Amino acid sequence: MELAKYKACICEGSAEEAIIDILVDNDLLIFNREEMLEERVIRCRSAKRFEERYLRKGFDEQISVILSSW
């Protein structure tokens, strides 16, 4: 699977966010922090809010959305 230039890594809770942060910081994922929107994990439970806040911006390329829900 090939990811887009921009990656939105979304977690619902703080535990998931902490796990993703550890994985990213230790280069254990197929993307790095610099490729992530805002260079951080996005905490968002509402798809509508995510769409309003991030997807309405004028990106020149597609965005890969990575949703973490354990």
* DSSP output for 1-29: ----SEEEEEESSHHHHHHHHHHHHTT-S
Domain membership flag for residue 2 = no
**Tens digits of residue pLDDT in 5-53:** 999 999 988 999 999 999 999 999 999 999 999 999 999 888 899 888 8
Domain membership flag for residue 57 = yes
Containing domain of residue 43, as a range? 8-68
Domain membership flag for residue 48 = yes
The three-class DSSP label of residue 57 is coil
Domain membership flag for residue 3 = no
Domain membership flag for residue 37 = yes
Domain membership flag for residue 14 = yes
Domain total for the chain?
Answer: 1
User: pTM, whole model, 2 decimals?
Assistant: 0.81
Domain membership flag for residue 38 = yes
